Structure 1
Amino acid sequence: MATVYPSDHAALAAEPFALQEYYASCHANGSLALLFLPISRHSQNILHSPTHAASISIWSDRPAASRPRVSLIGNVTVFPDLSLTPDLARIQACYLDHHPDARWWLPGPREPHVAYWARFDPHSVYFVGGFGDKHYIGYVPLDMYQAAGRQGTGVAGRVLFDQQDHIP
């Protein structure tokens, strides 16, 4: 995930910050479920962004220059009230299927950290299919990305890897 430090940060105002972040593809439209911990640097940057902007990279199981990858650019919706989290039971089960070790940080009355559920909604998708002379590199229409998730094959971005020769 990549976010940007807020403009009022003492030392790193408007600087980018990137670090691996847990996510799970739990939405049919390609949005991603996030475990949102306000103590994390990404969460703090997102909360201080007027649009709650972030970017998430998804790649093949073995990243390499010749392998496909996708960058999702979008915004994050945080659900601070657990009772108002859409599809709470399904999201929690899906997330734990992807990250069983996260059970210790799930939202609810737990200590020592506060946690919420959040949803990352991409608005732009940039795809790198591998080397440019052999594979597609460029933006993917959002509706194509969102439709890929409805095919039931897991992470919507990874579906694109199988369809890379068919991207306009």
Structure 2
Amino acid sequence: MLFIAFLTLFIVYSTGTVDARETVNDAARIGRRLIHETSIGTMATRYSSDHPTLAGMPFALQEYYASCFTNGSLLLLFLPISRHSRNILASPGHTASISMWHNPSPSADQPRISLMGNVTVLRHESELSPDLKDCYLSEHPDAKWWLPEDPESAHISFWARFDPVSVYFVGGFGDEHYIGEIPLNLYQEVSYSKSLRVQ
């Protein structure tokens, strides 16, 4: 089942400096690295237009995700009981954001990335490879209590995949860092470098 979503990841990371002005290729590598090395963020969705009191209003809470796909898609654990999931199920179009920091005191000169795309709910465990399940649990061991098709699970849940369709990057201050769109094909194909130092 496919749902349109706008997923924004604001990720802040600090490990060093960039010697020269960032290019869009640098931004793609830094962005993929930030996403890969972060697994908790604040997701925001929007209440459906027919909600009795909060129609169209944004809603935000922390959510888990895991960067388990080579093309930059994200693996989610989708619980119908959650407000985010209900917002997604209520309407094919909605906004979302995920914000996270490696640095406990983030600042405006640090990079962040915004992804917008589609959420596909996988209704059957067979639609997900065991490797992906292991990848998710390696990031979130406590999620074992909410796994799909587990009769002892605390809640009904499904796996879901978030596929970006648009990528926006802010590397920091614009006089030194890249700010703007990252072409989707570049985001999907780039191999992030662990040696790339970002500020």
Same fold (TM over 0.5): yes
Residue from 102, 113, 121 that aligns with 1:78: 121
Which portions of structure 1, spanning 4 or more consecutive aligned residues, are displaced by more than 2 angstroms? 53-60, 109-112
Deviations 1:33-60 (A, max 9, x none): 0000000011001111224x45343655
Match of 1:102 in 2: 143
Deviations 1:52-79 (A, max 9, x none): x453436551232111110111110001
Is residue 46–residue 54 contact of structure 1 (8 Å, CA) maintained in 2? no
Is residue 55–residue 71 contact of structure 1 (8 Å, CA) maintained in 2? no
Paired residue type of 1:101: D
More helix by share: 1
For the residues of structure 2 that align with 1:40 and 1:30, how far apart are their CA atoms? 24
Is residue 77–residue 159 contact of structure 2 (8 Å, CA) maintained in 1? yes
For the residues of structure 2 that align with 1:163 and 1:77, how far apart are their CA atoms? 34
2:110 aligned with 1:67: yes
Match of 1:156 in 2: none
1:4-153 map, 5 Å: 4-51=46-93, 53-57=94-98, 60-62=101-103, 63-83=106-126, 85-87=127-129, 89-108=130-149, 109-148=151-190, 151=191
For the residues of structure 1 that align with 2:148 and 2:113, how far apart are their CA atoms? 29
Q: How many residues align?
A: 152
Is residue 66–residue 130 contact of structure 1 (8 Å, CA) maintained in 2? yes
2:45 aligned with 1:3: yes
For the residues of structure 2 that align with 1:74 and 1:146, how far apart are their CA atoms? 13
Query: TM-score, normalised to structure 2's length?
Result: 0.70
For the residues of structure 2 that align with 1:106 and 1:10, how far apart are their CA atoms? 32
Question: What is the CA-CA distance between 1:138 and the residue it aligns to?
Answer: 1.1
For the residues of structure 2 that align with 1:12 and 1:43, how far apart are their CA atoms? 16
* Long gaps (5+) in structure 1: 154-158
Gap change, CA 1:73 and 1:24, over 3 Å in 2: same
For the residues of structure 2 that align with 1:133 and 1:38, how far apart are their CA atoms? 44
* Aligned-pair Cα RMSD in Å: 2.1
Is residue 147–residue 153 contact of structure 2 (8 Å, CA) maintained in 1? no
For the residues of structure 2 that align with 1:82 and 1:66, how far apart are their CA atoms? 42
Paired residue type of 1:19: L
Is residue 60–residue 68 contact of structure 1 (8 Å, CA) maintained in 2? no
| SS in structure 1 at match of 2:49 | coil
| SS in structure 2 at match of 1:131 | coil
For the residues of structure 1 that align with 2:131 and 2:122, how far apart are their CA atoms? 15
Gap change, CA 1:163 and 1:126, over 3 Å in 2: farther
* Long gaps (5+) in structure 2: 1-42
Is residue 78–residue 117 contact of structure 1 (8 Å, CA) maintained in 2? yes
Query: TM-score, normalised to structure 1's length?
Result: 0.81
Paired residue type of 1:34: L
